[in-house]
Structure 1
Amino acid sequence: MKVARFYAPGDIRIEDTPEPVAGPDELKIKVHNCSTCGTDLKIFRHGHHHIDPPRVIGHEIAGSIVDVGSDVDGWTAGDRVQVIAAIPCGDCPDCRRGRLTICPNQKSMGYHYDGAFAEYMIVPRAVLKVDGVNRIADSLSYAEASVAEPLACVLNGQELARVGAGDVVVVIGAGPIGCLHVRLARARGAEAVYLVELSRGRLAMAAALVKPDAAICSADVDPVDEVLRLTDGRGVDVVITAAAAGKAQEDGLRMAARRGRISFFGGLPKDNPVIACDANLVHYRELTIVGANGSSPAHNKQALALVAAGAVPVDDLITHRMPLAGVLDAIHTVSTGEAIKVTIEP
């Protein structure tokens, strides 16, 4: 079978390798879709400290079961499934308290285990242990199901930021995550959702799909001034920074209304993670700043249900579909900002 295997920064190879064999406590699936994300681009450029190469990457996974280990119950060949990316241990104090997204022992598909840029892959026992395999509704395509993983992360972020009915929300960053944030905020009852983006072309493409109440190009206007203008000087209830930029976080603090919540959803570069924070804004306005780290298995189930119910459509966000041999082209396309979501179909 064919796989895309990471060896070193700048070195991902399409290779032939024998099909994997499921152990007694594992599943083997045929991969139908594995969508790409900005993390795949980061891995290609810089590697990752959790990846010991060579490693098959790809973590937004949807496929069909072809073999069931002898010790695995509840699954049969032919079942259509989505697989989590982040794997909590299920045993540590944080996991026992239900805080699975911050498990200190977390493993990941495509990092610690071979991922889904492959024709076939193994779902390890660690995933099954935490109920990390989910049935795909008949109404959903595999491509749509693969987007449940990033949507699960978005769901975690909005739960932590308490996005709800009547909120006015700003999303900074018009990539696939930003688009999902806009749609989920609407599904959660937001009164208005504004989208901020530096690139005019990317903003236009995203806004045409997700239709925010205002599309703000930060190359043309000061986004803080524009958000304050739109809200008659009040600011917004929730700011979500879906961009890996310190300025987005700094601007977010200045856009927030009194008792506003700011989600630092997008992580910053590890060589430049420090921002200027006006602590008096936080103090006097009683602001809340929250982080967001991945998703839990339960978030993946909820995300699939939201997509299946039509509450958060994702099919139109998949702008490019490429074969496994086109993984490098897919990663390049992600880097250019020409796509919203790129999916690989092995």
Structure 2
Amino acid sequence: MKAAVFHGPGDVRIEEVPEPTAAAGEVKLRVLACSMCGTDLKIFRSGHFRISPPRVMGHEIAGEIVEVGAGVTGWAPGDRVQVIAAIPDGTCEECARGHQTVCLNQESMGYQYEGGFAEFMVVPHSVLAVDGMNRIPDGVGADEASVTEPLACVLNGQELAGVGAGDVVAVFGAGPIGCLHVRLARSRGASRIIMIEVNRERLRLAADLVHPDDTVCAEDGDIIEQVRKLTDGRGADVVITATAAGAAQEQALQIAAPRARISFFGGLPKDKPTITLDSNLVHYRELTIVGANGSSPAHNARALHLIATGEVPVKDLISVRLPLDRVLEALDIVAKGEAIKVTIEP
């Protein structure tokens, strides 16, 4: 079968690899859709300490069951399913406390296990053991279901930041994650949403799809002053940095209203992980800063429900669909920011 195999930084190849079979406790899928995210681009460019090449990439997975291993119950060939990316062990102290997103022994599809940029793949027992495979409801396309995982991460971030009714929410970043944050904040009752971006064309592309109440572009002047003007000097109740930029995290504190919650959603580059934080802003405004690390199996189940009910539409965010043998082209599109969401459909 064909697969996109990571061999090292800058080296991803479309290769013929052996087609897997489902061992006891496993399920084999025909991959129907596997969406691409910024993490895939980071892996392609720089590798990842948790990935030992060669490894099939791809972790935003939707497929159809073609084989069920011995001992697996409740699933049958023909079932369409969505698969979690981050796999908690379900037994460590953090998992026991209900904190599966920071599991001490977390594994991931496309990292320790072969991913979804392939014609077929195996869902390991570790995924099934934590209820990490969800049945795709009728009426939901596999392409939409493949966006469940990033939406689940966004859901985790907004729950941690307490996004709710009446909030003014500012989102840094107009990529796919920023768009999902806008749509989810709207569904959670935010009264006003401001999308902030440094690239005017990318901001226009995103805003035309997800319709924030206001947009702020760095090309138009100081971001902080623009947001203050839009909010009559008060700032935003929730600020989400859906971008890997330290400057955005620093600016987030400047546009935060008193008692605001700030989500450092996007991780920073490993060679530039620090920022200058004005501690007095946190102190005097009584700000709360939270991180957000992936999603749990429960977040995935809830995110798929949000897609299925139409509370968070995602289909129109998928602006490019490419076959498996054009994965390198897809990575280039992501790198150039020429699409909101790119999905590989083997």
Compute the TM-score of the two structures, normalised by the length of structure 2: 1.00
SS where residue 101 of structure 1 aligns?
helix
Distance 2:344 2:191 in 1: 35
Unmatched 5+ stretches in structure 2: none
Task: After TM superposition, give the deviation of residue 62 of structure 1 in Å.
Answer: 0.1
Q: Answer yes or no: is 1:108 the counterpart of 2:120.
A: no
The one-letter code sitting in structure 2 at the alignment partner of 1:147 is: V
Distance 1:131 1:95 in 2: 14
Residue number in structure 2 paired with 1:252: 252
Distance 2:61 2:226 in 1: 39
1:82-101 → structure 2 map (5 Å cutoff): 82-101=82-101
The one-letter code sitting in structure 2 at the alignment partner of 1:305 is: H
SS where residue 325 of structure 2 aligns?
helix
Q: How many residues align?
A: 346
SS where residue 294 of structure 1 aligns?
coil
Task: After TM superposition, give the deviation of residue 220 of structure 1 in Å.
Answer: 1.7
Task: After TM superposition, give the deviation of residue 10 of structure 1 in Å.
Answer: 0.7
SS where residue 259 of structure 2 aligns?
strand
The one-letter code sitting in structure 2 at the alignment partner of 1:153 is: C
Residue number in structure 1 paired with 2:345: 345
Distance 1:13 1:72 in 2: 33
Distance 1:106 1:164 in 2: 30
Q: Answer yes or no: is 1:73 the counterpart of 2:73.
A: yes
- After superposition, the C-alpha distances for 1:116-150 in whole angstroms (9 at most, x for unaligned) are 00000000011001000000011100000000000
The one-letter code sitting in structure 2 at the alignment partner of 1:131 is: D
Distance 1:221 1:264 in 2: 23
Task: After TM superposition, give the deviation of residue 221 of structure 1 in Å.
Answer: 1.9
The one-letter code sitting in structure 1 at the alignment partner of 2:32 is: H
Q: Answer yes or no: is 1:175 the counterpart of 2:171.
A: no
Distance 2:213 2:312 in 1: 17
Compute the TM-score of the two structures, normalised by the length of structure 1: 1.00
Distance 1:254 1:89 in 2: 39
Q: What CA RMSD, in Å, does the superposition of the two structures yield over aligned residues?
A: 0.5
Task: After TM superposition, give the deviation of residue 98 of structure 1 in Å.
Answer: 0.5
Distance 2:212 2:222 in 1: 18
The one-letter code sitting in structure 2 at the alignment partner of 1:334 is: V
Residue number in structure 2 paired with 1:190: 190
Distance 1:165 1:223 in 2: 25
Task: After TM superposition, give the deviation of residue 269 of structure 1 in Å.
Answer: 0.6
Q: Answer yes or no: is 1:329 the counterpart of 2:326.
A: no
1:19-58 → structure 2 map (5 Å cutoff): 19-58=19-58
Q: Percent identity?
A: 66
Unmatched 5+ stretches in structure 1: none
Distance 1:287 1:263 in 2: 11
The one-letter code sitting in structure 1 at the alignment partner of 2:113 is: Y
The one-letter code sitting in structure 2 at the alignment partner of 1:323 is: P
1:95-244 → structure 2 map (5 Å cutoff): 95-244=95-244
Distance 2:4 2:246 in 1: 32
Distance 2:123 2:148 in 1: 17
SS where residue 220 of structure 2 aligns?
coil
The one-letter code sitting in structure 2 at the alignment partner of 1:214 is: D
Residue number in structure 1 paired with 2:309: 309
Distance 2:304 2:313 in 1: 11
SS where residue 12 of structure 1 aligns?
strand
Task: After TM superposition, give the deviation of residue 223 of structure 1 in Å.
Answer: 1.3
Residue number in structure 1 paired with 2:280: 280
Q: Answer yes or no: is 1:5 the counterpart of 2:9.
A: no
Distance 1:22 1:145 in 2: 22
Distance 1:331 1:133 in 2: 26
- After superposition, the C-alpha distances for 1:40-73 in whole angstroms (9 at most, x for unaligned) are 1000100000000000010000000000011111
Residue number in structure 2 paired with 1:264: 264
SS where residue 271 of structure 2 aligns?
coil
Task: After TM superposition, give the deviation of residue 9 of structure 1 in Å.
Answer: 0.5
Distance 2:185 2:132 in 1: 25
Residue number in structure 2 paired with 1:290: 290
The one-letter code sitting in structure 2 at the alignment partner of 1:46 is: S
- After superposition, the C-alpha distances for 1:223-264 in whole angstroms (9 at most, x for unaligned) are 111111111111110000001000000000010000000000
Distance 1:156 1:221 in 2: 32
The one-letter code sitting in structure 2 at the alignment partner of 1:62 is: A
- After superposition, the C-alpha distances for 1:148-204 in whole angstroms (9 at most, x for unaligned) are 000000000000000000000000000000000000000000000000000011000
Task: After TM superposition, give the deviation of residue 219 of structure 1 in Å.
Answer: 2.0
- After superposition, the C-alpha distances for 1:3-48 in whole angstroms (9 at most, x for unaligned) are 0000011110101122101001100000000000000100010000
The one-letter code sitting in structure 1 at the alignment partner of 2:221 is: V
Distance 2:324 2:277 in 1: 44
Distance 1:243 1:218 in 2: 14
SS where residue 219 of structure 2 aligns?
coil
